[in-house]
Chains A and B, each alone.
Chain A
Amino acid sequence: MNVYITACNSINPVFQPDNFSWKEKIETPDVIRFTCKEPDYKAFITDSATRRRMSRAVKMGVAAALQCLADAEVTPDAIITATGLGCLGDTEKFLKTLIENGEDLLNPTPFIQSTFNTVGAQVAIAQKNTCYNTTYVHRGIAFENALTDAILQLGESAVKNVLTGAYEELTDTSFDVQRRLGMFRRGGRAGEGSAFFMLSSETESFCRLKAVNVAFCQEKSEIREKLLAFLCQNDINPDDIDIFISGESGNTDEQPFYDTVENAFPSASTVHYKHLSGDYQTVSSFALWLAVKIIENQAVPAHFLKTGKAEKMDKILIYNNFRNINHSFILCGRQF
């Protein structure tokens, strides 16, 4: 069975959500905190009361998902979402009033909307779709867990199209916590974003999702072995990879892993992106969106290119490392 990506949509800190153009000039702000360029949500969530109740995380997730559905023009047979910290803004809002009001007279709305499955549920409600619906929340591999589930769904029963994606919002508190943990002193950057994909086993497209793998290791030598095993399982030679999308964020603790993986692909061009998007738990969803756009446009915007000339853009490997514990590989492209 082949899995195709037939539509995708992202809200991110890099590209304007409206009148999106791959060739637009990308600003490279010298910041450590990246915030999404958000669309006017009126177009996506028409009911103003519903819109008002939704936090930024929910709006970013729901809007990206609904646009992806509109582009794909199919009714999904499964909806699978991923997030590391979920609807953090609402969680904090509820905690704040809980503490300030001494556990009294609390508005339930932020509590209701704080559950991790809010985006998946809101998409289902908006579409009146009762299909399989679940949410993965495991740190740096939540999105990869969701992709794995989506691929399994497509291989089972009557499932033909799966909507899957991820969302993450950066709040003042989570930024503060990362700062106090010293993440930025070590070169890291904080960001946020949402990205949704329609995966299909029946409709072909220019981009195949070939394989997804997660690994847990704390040694560089181990990651090399795991990478080679993953390529071998998928019958891929390192020289076959045209573009390596590296999740390097500038964090000096994580860089040796990225270097190790990059060195395994001497003939590939390397693309990096976290200097423009920042880092977050489900950031590999943005990397996959980037991969689809690179293949679709057959071009890599200059600011994303780290090494190489990106002359061939058929086979892409995405590697992400979350805090040297959660590692993931995503293989996608055309001509597999």
Chain B
Amino acid sequence: MKIVVSGAGIISSIGKNIPETLDSLENKRSGLQPLSLFDSRYRGVLPVGEADFPVSKRFSRTALLGIYAARAAFCDAGLDRRKDEKLRIGLISGTSVGGMDLSENFYHDYLYSPSRGRLHEVVGHDCGDSTEKIASALGISDYIATVSTACSSGANAIIMGARLIKNGILDCVIAGGTDALCKFTLNGFSSLKIVDDKPCRPFDESREGLNLGEGAGYVVLEKEGNRYQSVCCSLAGYANICEAYHQTASSPDGGGALLAMQKAIENAGMRPEHVDYINLHGTGTPNNDLAEGNAVKRLFGEKIPKLSSTKAFTGHTLGACGGIEAVFSVLAIEKGLVFPNLNFKNPIPEHGLQPETDFRKGLEINVVMSNSFGFGGNMSTLIFEKL
């Protein structure tokens, strides 16, 4: 059974919808700017990818960004709850910290006294809250799940969505991820000393770390022929593995990334040479880009497909990046594009990979591979194929 992508929705620091996003990509306009979203010692100092979206004191930004992008995907697929009431529709959403953007405020006051802190800020702080708000906004109640495997959450949500359809449990799934910038993750990655205070340089020899971003990306998955849809690609294959190497680091030889990519290609019934473009995880940390690059070298040998990381546009959007980059992958196939890897000058000596640095259009892109790797060694690869 073919699982097709019938809709996509995205919001990130480079755009609130697909046309804005494509315009930023084509004009190499990065969304990274000094932090302005909240009070922090990093405000005005660290570059981050903030979505152009109003701040609410009442609702978690993770939920709001999620509703925005998921609704866009829902509409893009031409879904209509009244017309499609017989369809069993599910929502599988990935997030790394859920409504932490609000609950960190609660703890600030709560620390003074256990009777302080606004309860509404902590009641909506669990990961499931954002998913339930999205489901409620879209009228989805047939199946709901929230996945949290750190930075591969969005990709794993998409994999689960496809499997629920393949197994006949659902007819249609909105799957992807959402995460808002917050002090918790900003300080977490800073304490690990893997945040760059300059714009990140994925796959560049001089890379020093990642920049954080926020946003949400969702795709609508259905089985082929489910209803009249205008679709351009299918989710042809996927793999989820755990490297079982280290809680926060990838093995330098890229064994985990290699396994994820190999298994995804096998799952799609393809060979490595079928892949036209790889949207790399490419965070810009010394460890990831070395490991992921080594894995690409080991898998593709001398025939390296076109590749790039889009993290220097959006920042690392954590639980959302699997969803956001799935949307990028679909756009690459639909419009024949390869996106530029910003801030790249010199290859990493150990593997010498040369990512695309220009916006390329008019290409025949049939197969796109998208990597998402997370803490805990949770590594997932998705493969999209032109229909």
Binding site for B on A (CB under 8 A): 79, 84-86, 91-92, 94-96, 98-100, 102-104, 106-108, 111-118, 120-122, 124-125, 127-139, 141-142, 145, 148-149, 152, 155-156, 172-173, 176-177, 180-181, 214, 216-217, 281, 325
Quick one: given A94-B188, A156-B163, are A103 and B150 in contact (CB under 8 Å)?
no
A106 to B115: give the CA distance in the assembly, Å.
26
Across-interface contacts of A138 in B (CB, < 8 A): 127-128, 131, 144-146
B256 touches which of A79, A95, A130, A156 (Cβ 8 Å): A130
A122 to B247: give the CA distance in the assembly, Å.
7
In the complex, the chain B residue whose C-beta lies closest to that of A173 is: B110
Residue B232 at the chain A interface, CB threshold 8 Å: no
Across-interface contacts of A131 in B (CB, < 8 A): 241-242
Residue B172 at the chain A interface, CB threshold 8 Å: no
Stretch at the interface among B7-15, B74-82, B370-378: B370-378
A180 to B118: give the CA distance in the assembly, Å.
10
Q: Are B241 and A132 in contact (CB under 8 A)?
A: yes
B235 to chain A, nearest CB (A): 15
CB pairs A–B below 8 angstroms (21 shown): A79-B242, A84-B128, A92-B107, A103-B183, A111-B192, A112-B248, A115-B148, A115-B374, A115-B375, A118-B247, A121-B244, A129-B244, A133-B378, A136-B145, A137-B128, A138-B128, A138-B146, A145-B146, A152-B164, A181-B119, A216-B144
A130 to B241: give the CA distance in the assembly, Å.
6
Quick one: given A108-B191, A131-B241, are A118 and B376 in contact (CB under 8 Å)?
yes
Q: Are B104 and A177 in contact (CB under 8 A)?
A: no
A327 to chain B, nearest CB (A): 11
For the complex with contacts A112-B248, A135-B378, 18 further pairs of A-B residues with Cβ separation under 8 Å are A85-B126, A94-B184, A111-B187, A116-B149, A117-B148, A120-B242, A120-B378, A121-B377, A136-B148, A137-B146, A145-B145, A155-B167, A156-B167, A173-B110, A177-B123, A181-B119, A181-B123, A216-B141
Q: Are A139 and B128 in contact (CB under 8 A)?
A: yes
Across-interface contacts of B241 in A (CB, < 8 A): 130-133
Q: Are A149 and B184 in contact (CB under 8 A)?
A: no
Q: Are B156 and A134 in contact (CB under 8 A)?
A: yes
Residue B132 at the chain A interface, CB threshold 8 Å: yes
Q: Are A133 and B107 in contact (CB under 8 A)?
A: no
A223 to B374: give the CA distance in the assembly, Å.
38
A181 to B241: give the CA distance in the assembly, Å.
40
Q: Are B107 and A130 in contact (CB under 8 A)?
A: no
Residue B362 at the chain A interface, CB threshold 8 Å: no
Residue B246 at the chain A interface, CB threshold 8 Å: yes
A177 to B108: give the CA distance in the assembly, Å.
14
Quick one: given A152-B163, A176-B114, are A112 and B375 in contact (CB under 8 Å)?
yes
Quick one: given A102-B41, A138-B128, A142-B128, are A125 and B246 in contact (CB under 8 Å)?
yes
Across-interface contacts of A142 in B (CB, < 8 A): 128, 146
Across-interface contacts of B143 in A (CB, < 8 A): 214
Across-interface contacts of A132 in B (CB, < 8 A): 240-242
A322 to B169: give the CA distance in the assembly, Å.
23
A217 to B107: give the CA distance in the assembly, Å.
31
Across-interface contacts of B376 in A (CB, < 8 A): 115, 117-118, 120-122, 124, 133
Across-interface contacts of B219 in A (CB, < 8 A): none
A246 to B142: give the CA distance in the assembly, Å.
23
A70 to B260: give the CA distance in the assembly, Å.
27
Interface string of B365-385 (1 = CB under 8 A from A): 000000000111110000000
Q: Are B115 and A180 in contact (CB under 8 A)?
A: yes
A118 to B145: give the CA distance in the assembly, Å.
19
A98 to B105: give the CA distance in the assembly, Å.
12
A116 touches which of B127, B167, B187, B242 (Cβ 8 Å): B127
Most chain A CB neighbours (cut-off 10 Å) among B96, B108, B115, B145: B145
- Chain B interface bracket (under 10, 10 to 19, 20 to 34, 35 or more): 35 or more
Across-interface contacts of A95 in B (CB, < 8 A): 104, 107, 184
Q: Are A134 and B149 in contact (CB under 8 A)?
A: yes
Across-interface contacts of B375 in A (CB, < 8 A): 112, 115, 117, 121
B146 touches which of A104, A136, A217 (Cβ 8 Å): A136
Which residues of B (112-148) have their CB < 8 Å from a CB of A?
114-115, 119, 122-123, 126-129, 131-132, 135, 141, 143-148
For the complex of A and B, the 9 pairs showing the least CB-CB separation, nearest first, are A121-B376, A139-B128, A133-B242, A111-B188, A116-B148, A138-B146, A106-B191, A108-B191, A138-B128
Across-interface contacts of A94 in B (CB, < 8 A): 184, 187-188
Residue B160 at the chain A interface, CB threshold 8 Å: yes
Quick one: given A106-B191, A131-B241, A177-B119, are A137 and B148 in contact (CB under 8 Å)?
yes
A114 to B97: give the CA distance in the assembly, Å.
10
B158 to chain A, nearest CB (A): 12
A129 to B259: give the CA distance in the assembly, Å.
12
A95 to B132: give the CA distance in the assembly, Å.
25
In the complex, the chain A residue whose C-beta lies closest to that of B149 is: A117
A216 to chain B, nearest CB (A): 5
Q: Are A117 and B128 in contact (CB under 8 A)?
A: no
Quick one: given A116-B127, A116-B148, are A130 and B40 in contact (CB under 8 Å)?
no
Q: Are B378 and A128 in contact (CB under 8 A)?
A: no
B185 to chain A, nearest CB (A): 8
In the complex, the chain A residue whose C-beta lies closest to that of B108 is: A99
